[in-house]
Amino acid sequence: MNPEKLSPVGRSLLNRRSFLGQSGMSLGAIALSQLLAKDNLLASNSGTGPIRPNIDDENPYAPRSPHFEMPAKQVLVIYCPGAVSHVDTFDYKPDLYKLHGQKPPGIPAVTFEGPTGNIAKPFWQFRPRGETGKMVSDLLPNLASMVDDFCFMHSLTTQTSAHPQGENFINTGFTMEGFPSFGAWVTYALGCETDELPAFVAINDPRGLARSGKNNFGSGFLPAAFQGTDFTAANPPANLGRPNAYTSDADRASVSLLQRLNAKHLRQFPGDADLAARIASYELAGRMQTSVPDVMDIANEPESVHRAYGTDTGTELKKAYANNCILARRLLEKGVRVVQLFNGSDPAGGNGITNWDSHSDIERTHAMQAEIMDQPTAALIADLKQRGMLEHTLVVWCTEFGRMPFLQANGTGRDHNPDAFTCFLAGAGVKKGFSYGESDEFGFKSAVNETTVYDFNATLLHLMGLDHERLTYYHNGLERRLTNVHGHVVKDVLA
């Protein structure tokens, strides 16, 4: 090589000492920039970098500001495991009546659970409701009477037709387990307005946990402080009561000693989020010894409230679920940030008995679930409205996917449908008496304004004042978020 053809810079690169010195400085700069980016300390003109909440490990539930101001400050998620049939509830399809008993071209020969049967008209009559004239079936008369307050999303689609993965997907944004739930993301970002109750409470169905269990309200790889605390109106958090033989003075002395020991231990291990979360959890449990008995005192609600919710009529399951609905309202009143209320469980496969999974005899099994869910849920939303709480509370009614417009081969049930289903929103920040998107003429596939679960969750975060693309957590070398790398806010549903 002729050195005369090299520039001075080029010749310097051939100097071993210069090359090693510059490489070392460059690698150090790269490492520093990565560390700064991880902690969101790099300057950015684009406004697209991660927004990490400033969390005090010793007080992880302290309230934090949203990314931007929105009316919703709290959220109530009413989740119905098992897949509610949209074509029998909220998604009116006149063509199902025309084609009832037929098998037109385009219907698949086999779906999730086997061979398909013929098109089946809705098992309950649809009627126009409210001033908007929204068509809703007789299966849910109480919710039907409130359609002028609801914002329906009729073109939802999901990635799976299996219940565990479907529950994971709508509640955590991923079909696999181990990812933070929606409630965990919200409380991670915003904390809570009360320091006497958990920031995130999951009220399980009286029959037990849903198919994906605690994953539906878990914290995944987020700090453990942000997982949901699960209890029901019949089963309060365990081990909060002070033993009768233990005096209040001794109790206070023990708590004081534990606080000093915990503080000393935490100073020895600064930055240990798990340790800080455990300490914060125990301290919260101490405060809950007085706050929980108060919030659980449902019996002293006025008779008119019990009558409206239906705690004294119907099956024992309906009464228990109605009590859970009253508990949900009381928790929101006390400032709990996220309440997730389950209507349905899956201790032994569901199959329409313990949840909405109606593969056979849908007319009987969906009616059973509706009798439990309809009146108490409608009363809860009406109660929030009457108390002025819908001005700052977002209500989300959802299920993991829909059901087919045709029957299964058994002729009495509908199979899973991941390509079209309906959920609705109400309250702070959403349009009233509005329907977004459409499924096709059969309710088989999304046809207008297809909306993914990513879009759905992006919209929910936006309504809480959070940017779904910037609310992230650095985990295993990736900036993780609820919506993965997908999702768009459905702006048409915003008030």
pLDDT tens by residue, 77-124: 999 999 999 999 999 999 999 999 998 888 899 998 889 999 999 999
pLDDT tens by residue, 204-219: 999 999 999 999 999 9
**Could you tell me what percentage of the chain is helix, strand and coil, using 3-state DSSP and rounding each to the nearest 5?**
40, 20, 45
Percent of the chain scoring above 70 in pLDDT: 88
At 423, the amino acid letter reads C
pLDDT of residue 233: 96
Residue linked to tokens 């990565």: 34
- Cα–Cα distance between 283 and 36 in angstroms, integer? 33
Residue 33: pLDDT above 60? no
Is-contact 432 149, C-beta < 8 A? yes
Mean pLDDT, rounded, of the chain? 90
Beta bridge partners of 151: 425, 434
Question: b vs e for 349-360, b when ≥16 Cβ sit within 10 Å of the residue's Cβ?
Answer: ebbbbbbbbbbb
- Cα–Cα distance between 40 and 474 in angstroms, integer? 10
Question: Mean pLDDT throughout 67-71?
Answer: 97
- Cα–Cα distance between 153 and 351 in angstroms, integer? 26
116-125, 254-263, 394-403: which has the minimum mean pLDDT?
254-263
Of residues 343 and 8, more confidently modeled: 343
- Cα–Cα distance between 252 and 151 in angstroms, integer? 49
Residue 369's SS3 state is helix
pLDDT of residue 45: 40
The DSSP result for 420-470, as a single string, is -EEEEEEETTB-SSEEE-EE-TTSSSEEES-EEHHHHHHHHHHHTT--TTT
- Cα–Cα distance between 54 and 65 in angstroms, integer? 10
Question: Mean pLDDT throughout 391-410?
Answer: 97
- Cα–Cα distance between 360 and 327 in angstroms, integer? 33
Question: Mean pLDDT throughout 24-49?
Answer: 58
Q: What crossing angle do the helices spanning 453-463 and 182-190 adopt, rounded to 10°?
A: 30
Residue 192: pLDDT above 50? yes
The DSSP result for 71-131, as a single string, is S--EEEEEE-TT---GGGTT---THHHHTTT---TT--SEETTEEEEEE---SS-EEEETT
pLDDT of residue 42: 47
Question: Mean pLDDT throughout 312-331?
Answer: 97
